[in-house]
Amino acid sequence: MTLGAEPAADVVCTKQGHAGLIHLNRPKALNALTHDMVNIIAPALELWAHDPEITRILIDAEGEKAFCAGGDIRKLTEQGKSGQKAEAVRFWADEYRLNTKIKTYPKPFIALVDGIVMGGGVGLSLHGHYRVAGDRYLFAMPEVSIGLFPDVGGTYALPRLQGEAGLWLAMTGARLKRDDAMALGLATHAVASADMQLLKEDLIAGNEIEPTLEKFKTTLGASRFPDLMAQINPLFSASSLSELITRLEHASAQSDFAAECLSIIRKASPTSLAITFKQMRHGRELSFREAMMLEYRIVSRVLDGHDFYEGVRAVLIDKDQTPKWQPDCIENLDQNVIETYFKPLPQELDLSE
């Protein structure tokens, strides 16, 4: 039974053995997540939840470069600029419902992640029971560099990482390889890329999950954590964005790490940074559903602003890497404007099922 239409579809959902298998199939686009893909995956998960022959869900991706490098951001900006904001917002609503379905799924959800995992790909993998990282694993949430914010459940997951690692990742878009991701709990198991297919076959056959994962585990290298936490925590424990900048400025003369963080943050959208800082601090208090509702409030308003379109233009379309943010620096932010992104909507995200 194939739910993703023909094998050439952008995502193929099939029942194989004891598994419901989701296979992302846009390797030339780094398996970027489209609205159509969301609308194939969600009903497949709903169907499999009630199929007694299926005891686990597997998600993997075609190609060696990326598991899923994000959502189809170009399409969303095109829709927003051409008066189709409602359609763009509908994508995020359906994506966030899918993220919630994965988080609350009644059967083990196993993501086989071997390559880049960013944005939408994080939403498809991080909230499941098992995140299996291959040799090519590379995690990042670099949304502030394109005028967005770390969504798809980042509000919930990132603040719950150890210390201030989540805020650091959100504000800088830092990239983590497998050893670091394992140290932070972003990945739960490490398997050699060469063994991923064999692991997949054993899981499809219905073998017990945890013993099977243990059977294929590979030796980890050295992680930068916890040593890196000794640098992250004193800087990113700031109580406000302005305090964070001040700490980074004071430390940058003696610390290459602080100088690098400051340089990256200074290039990002000031509005996105302010939203993200508040989002990360507030997220510690929210349930997963509350976090998704908050993200929907924010993203619905991002489309009415300037920086998202400008960030995508500068980074992904023209690739001149010189976005003209409005306002152009953190010091010119109006906190009252930032607060409006977080206010309830007339029509909130419906997560009832």
Residue 1: pLDDT band (50, 70, 90) is very low
Domains of the chain: 1-346 (3.90.226.10)
Class of residue 14 by CB neighbours under 10 A (exposed 0-12, middle 13-18, buried 19+): middle
Average pLDDT value for residue range 136-152: 98
CA 255 to chain centre: 29
Q: Would you say 299 and 92 are in contact if contact means Cβ atoms under 8 Å apart? A: yes
- pLDDT exceeds 60 at position 4: no
pLDDT tens column, 328-353: 999 999 999 999 999 999 999 999 86
State the average pLDDT over residues 98-122.
Answer: 98
Q: pTM to 2 decimals?
A: 0.96
Tens of pLDDT along 256-279?
Answer: 999 999 999 999 999 999 999 999
Contact indicator for 132, 276 with CB cutoff of 8 Å: no
240, pLDDT greater than 70: yes
Of the chain, the percentage scoring pLDDT greater than 90 comes to 93
Q: Which pLDDT does position 196 carry in this prediction?
A: 98
Residue 151 annotated to the active site: yes
Per-residue pLDDT band for 2 (boundaries 50, 70, 90) equals low
- Of the residues 95, 143, 180, 295, which is catalytic? 143
In the annotation, is 71 catalytic? yes
Q: Which of 4, 120, 128, 154 is catalytic?
A: 120
The whole-number average pLDDT for the span 153-182 is 98
Question: What values do phi and psi take at 158, rounded to 5?
Answer: -65, -45
- The secondary structure of the chain, three-state, reads CECCCCCCCCEEEEEECCEEEEEECCHHHCCCECHHHHHHHHHHHHHHHCCCCCCEEEEEECCCCEEECCECHHHHHHHHHCCCHHHHHHHHHHHHHHHHHHHCCCCCEEEEECCEEECHHHHHHCCCCEEEECCCCEEECCHHHHCCCCCCCHHHHHHHCCCCHHHHHHHHCCCEEHHHHHHHCCCCEEECHHHHHHHHHHHHCCCCHHHHHHHHECCCCCCCCCCCHHHHHHHHCCCCHHHHHHHHHHHHCCCHHHHHHHHHHHHCCHHHHHHHHHHHHHHCCCCHHHHHHHHHHHHHHHCCCCHHHHHHHHHHHCCCCCCCCCCCCHHHCCHHHHHHCCCCCCCCCCCCC
Catalytic residue chosen out of the listed positions 4, 70, 71, 147:
71
Predicted local distance difference test score (pLDDT) of residue 7: 59
Residue 3 has pLDDT above 60, yes or no: no
Mean pLDDT of 298-317: 95
Place of tokens 């010189």: 322
Average pLDDT over residues 131-160: 98
What mean pLDDT value characterizes the chain?
96
Q: Which of 151, 202, 307, 310 is catalytic?
A: 151
Residue 6: per-residue pLDDT: 57
Q: Is the pLDDT of residue 15 over 80?
A: yes
